[in-house]
Amino acid sequence: MAEQSCIIVGAGPAGLAAAIAVARGGRGVVVLEKNARPGRKLLLAGGGRANLTDPDLPSLDAAEAYGRSGRFLHQALASFSLAEFLKELGVGTEREEGGPRGESVFVRGGSRRLLDALLAGAERSGVEVVCGAAVRAAARLGGGGFEVRTSRRVWKCGRLIVAAGGMTYPSTGSCGDGYRLAGIFGHEVEAPRPALGALATEPCFPDIAGVSAADALITLRRGGRKLAARRGALLFTHRGVSGPPALDLSLEMARAAPPDDAADMRLVADLSPDLTRERIVDEFLAAAKSRPKRRLENADWCAALPARLTAELAGRAGIPAARRIGQISRREFIALAGNIKSLAMTVVAPPDVNDAMVTLGGVAAKGLDPYTMESRTVPGLRFAGELLAPAGPCGGYNLLMAFATGRAAGKSL
Ligand SMILES: Cc1cc2nc3c(=O)[nH]c(=O)nc-3n(C[C@H](O)[C@H](O)[C@H](O)COP(=O)(O)OP(=O)(O)OC[C@H]3O[C@@H](n4cnc5c(N)ncnc54)[C@H](O)[C@@H]3O)c2cc1C
């Protein structure tokens, strides 16, 4: 049973960032990864493009995005520069207009390039990555250090960093093992819940699944109270809604409600936030006058919405899609404009654990040193990445958290 200086559980972005930092500090480090290949979740990031926060801004500027539990991340973010980290890895970025913050940043060459650069950086620094090594148990040794059991063998190490990810998208290997390991060491784990996932709603939209409203303002309400609002491209699905504003609101929902509780959560979508209801009605009436024979189902002129969406909303207002627009009354147009400005949906379930992108909840901040991610009760034990309690919205915040906390944990050894 050879003894390692440091073992890291999980070869995702947090584990690899930690490993590079440990190795650069001069310690030997082995990363144990249960999958046959590292970084499966990272490869999915940003649809394969890896969406990042703006590397030109101080990482600490992102702190607010993690909500109240993000206070714990302040020290790790303050000492982490995404620009320097990417430069060290030799990874470039590209900017694109659009996204929830007006401009989005992606990795040039995509997630594959980022993962390859992390693995190359790890190899250059002397990190050993062992795949097919699922950690099943871990324990403290009497004389200090840890024993780590995989299906194949038992490892001994002086320091242990657990970066086994959250519990969502379990097909990537991140299925909650890290919480179990944290529990073994007596750490409190805040109830994990799926976030950044599509929302199942009533009504749902099987007839227009795949259609988007390019610029929608969505408000999340509970009871009579407004919880949050997000603007962006809203995607209609068989079960409800998705797209960046819906995903971000699923995080707000998870922050506001106990796990598994979607009770009383409602969404109200304004599908044309720059036009008033009156203006939309006027546009309808003008079109009805100038092209009365045109059928509503071909009405892609309306409030910049796709014709199929307009037809669906018209159907919900009792107007058949095949009706010629010259035959639609003012009162009917007012009802249709009402659906465009205020489409109400009831959320019928929290996001699905199998396709939500991240997990909110996890290893509680109060048990950890925010500078080093080290356990306050078990010296030598650290946690990093999505396994920690905070989670961020779309826009690169979750990779930032994985890198910053991984780096903080690894650098402090
Ligand atoms: C579809 C999708 C798109 C996303 N897009 C973005 C995006 O564009 N930008 C962004 O910032 N974030 C994005 N995210 C979130 C981001 O990918 C994660 O937050 C990030 O990967 C977390 O990094 P991590 O290292 O903490 O955990 P993970 O990436 O989950 O890595 C943990 C690793 O630990 C391994 N492991 C688990 N248990 C064990 C065990 N018992 N023994 C050994 N190994 C184990 C897992 O197999 C895995 O490889 C996306 C997520 C998904 C699912």
Q: Is the preceding omega at residue 379 within 30 degrees of 0, hence cis?
A: no
Residue 34 beta carbon below 6 angstroms from any ligand 1 atom: yes
The CATH homologous superfamily of the domain defined by 3-194+357-411: FAD/NAD(P)-binding domain (3.50.50.60)
Specify whether the CB–CB gap between 255 and 228 falls below 8 A.
Answer: no
Residue 44 beta carbon below 6 angstroms from any ligand 1 atom: yes
With tokens 């306050």, the residue in question is 376
pLDDT (0 to 100) of residue 156: 97
Does the pTM of the predicted model rise above 0.85?
A: yes
Residue 134 beta carbon below 6 angstroms from any ligand 1 atom: yes
Residue 402 beta carbon below 6 angstroms from any ligand 1 atom: yes
What is the residue with the minimal CA distance to atom 17 of ligand 1? Answer: 42
Residue 46 beta carbon below 6 angstroms from any ligand 1 atom: yes
Question: Buried b vs exposed e over 119-140: b needs ≥16 C-beta within 10 Å?
Answer: bebbeebebebbeebbbeebeb
Specify whether the CB–CB gap between 395 and 53 falls below 8 A.
Answer: yes
Q: What spacing in Å lies between the alpha carbon of 13 and ligand 1's midpoint?
A: 7
pLDDT (0 to 100) of residue 2: 57
Residue 164 beta carbon below 6 angstroms from any ligand 1 atom: yes
From the CB of residue 97, how many other CB atoms can be counted at a distance below 10 Å?
Answer: 7
Tell me the C-alpha distance between 40 and 156, whole Å.
26
Residue 45 beta carbon below 6 angstroms from any ligand 1 atom: yes
What is the residue with the minimal CA distance to atom 30 of ligand 1? Answer: 165
Domain residue ranges of the chain, discontinuous segments joined by +: 3-194+357-411, 198-351
From the CB of residue 278, how many other CB atoms can be counted at a distance below 10 Å?
Answer: 10
What is the residue with the minimal CA distance to atom 22 of ligand 1? Answer: 386
Burial (Cβ within 10 Å: 0-12, 13-18, ≥19) of residue 370:
middle
Give the residues of the chain that fall short of pLDDT 50.
Answer: none
What is the residue with the minimal CA distance to atom 14 of ligand 1? Answer: 45
pLDDT (0 to 100) of residue 22: 98
pLDDT (0 to 100) of residue 135: 98
Q: What spacing in Å lies between the alpha carbon of 22 and ligand 1's midpoint?
A: 20
Query: 58: helix, coil or strand?
Result: coil
Mutate to test the pocket of ligand 1, among 399, 400, 405 (most ligand atoms within 8 A of CB): 399
Q: What spacing in Å lies between the alpha carbon of 351 and ligand 1's midpoint?
A: 17
Tell me the C-alpha distance between 19 and 11, whole Å.
9
Q: What spacing in Å lies between the alpha carbon of 2 and ligand 1's midpoint?
A: 29
Specify whether the CB–CB gap between 384 and 412 falls below 8 A.
Answer: no
Residue 13 beta carbon below 6 angstroms from any ligand 1 atom: yes
What is the residue with the minimal CA distance to atom 1 of ligand 1? Answer: 44
pLDDT (0 to 100) of residue 152: 87
